[in-house]
């Protein structure tokens, strides 16, 4: 499986969590890391290049800090320009069909603030509905996200642990429920065979 990590953090050098995640991803030989703010901070998005990157990968990871219950603005612009009608959606727009979509989000607040009755009232699953809807529109398979809460308060040790968990999560083929179920059935078959022998 070829995985593309799209990073959208406008100030990644001053970030603790996203910077460490990026470093960890860069250390993996099987991941392609593409920093949107590094590439397009002062120039237009090259739609053809971005579309070719998407076509060359099976899983797309969108990594960003949560800004006002969404992503930083460049990622929104990237979606608007790259997911074109007739290419990603609409008649003939099937280029992304079957590819996997994973969010990796850092959040400054604690997890308990993202629930009914909490400070932010809504869960991260509810807040990320626009991403889920976008994945559905373009025929991608939306997979469970990787979330790091309290990202501006956690210790260096916890950031290191987070980066280990981040890499394990985004490279885990069993995030896809079809693959997980297939592997489960295979294990059942193998255990049945060993019992019958």
Locate the DSSP E strands across the chain. Answer: 3-7, 31-35, 59-65, 100-106, 141-142, 146-148
pLDDT tier, 194 (very low <50, low <70, confident <90, very high otherwise): low
Q: Tell me which residue range forms the domain holding 66.
A: 3-196
**Spatial separation of the C-alpha atoms in residues 135 and 99, rounded to whole Å:** 9
Q: Span 9-25, mean pLDDT?
A: 95
- Ramachandran category for residue 134: left, alpha or beta (phi over 0 → left; psi -120 to 50 → alpha): alpha
Q: Crossing angle of helices 17-26/156-170, nearest 10°?
A: 50
pLDDT tier, 140 (very low <50, low <70, confident <90, very high otherwise): very high
Would you call 8 exposed, middle or buried from its count of C-beta atoms within 10 A (0-12, 13-18, 19+)? buried
Return mean pLDDT, the chain.
Answer: 93
Q: Mind listing the pLDDT tens digit for each residue in 57-114?
A: 999 999 999 999 999 999 999 999 999 999 999 999 999 999 999 999 999 999 999 9
* CATH for 149: 3.40.50.360
The strand pairing partners of 76, in sequence order, are: none
Q: Which two tokens stand for residue 41?
A: 């901070």
Q: Comparing C-alpha atoms, which of 27, 16, 114, 28 is closest to residue 65?
A: 16
Total domain count for the chain?
1
**Spatial separation of the C-alpha atoms in residues 191 and 110, rounded to whole Å:** 42
Burial 46-64 (b: 16+ CB within 10 A, else e): eeeebbebbeebebbbbbb
Strand pairing report for 3-7 and 59-65 = parallel
Q: Which residue has the higher pLDDT, 9 or 192?
A: 9
What is the DSSP-derived secondary structure letter of residue 120? T
Torsion of CA 106, 56, 175, 19, to 10 degrees: -20
- Structure confidence at residue 161 (pLDDT): 95
First-to-final CA distance of the chain: 35
pTM of full prediction above 0.85: yes
């Amino acid at each position: 499986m070829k995985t593309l990590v799209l990073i959208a953090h406008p100030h990644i050098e001053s970030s603790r969590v996203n910077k460490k995640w990026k470093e960890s991803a860069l250390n993996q030989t099987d991941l392609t890391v593409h920093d949107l703010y590094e590439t397009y901070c002062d120039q237009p998005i090259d739609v053809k290049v971005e579309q070719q990157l998407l076509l060359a990968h099976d899983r797309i990871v969108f990594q960003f800090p949560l800004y006002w219950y969404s992503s930083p603005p460049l990622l929104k612009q990237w979606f608007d320009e790259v997911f074109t009608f007739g290419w990603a959606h609409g008649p003939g727009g099937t280029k992304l069909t079957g590819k996997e979509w994973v969010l990796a989000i850092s959040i400054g607040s604690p997890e308990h603030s993202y629930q009914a009755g909490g400070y932010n009232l809504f869960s991260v699953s509810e807040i990320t509905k626009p991403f889920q809807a976008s994945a559905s529109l373009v025929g991608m398979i939306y997979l469970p996200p990787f979330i790091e809460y309290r990202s501006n308060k956690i210790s260096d040790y916890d950031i290191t642990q987070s980066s280990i968990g981040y890499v394990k999560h985004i490279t885990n083929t069993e995030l896809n429920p079809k693959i997980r179920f297939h592997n489960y059935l295979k294990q059942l078959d193998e255990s049945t065979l060993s019992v019958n022998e």
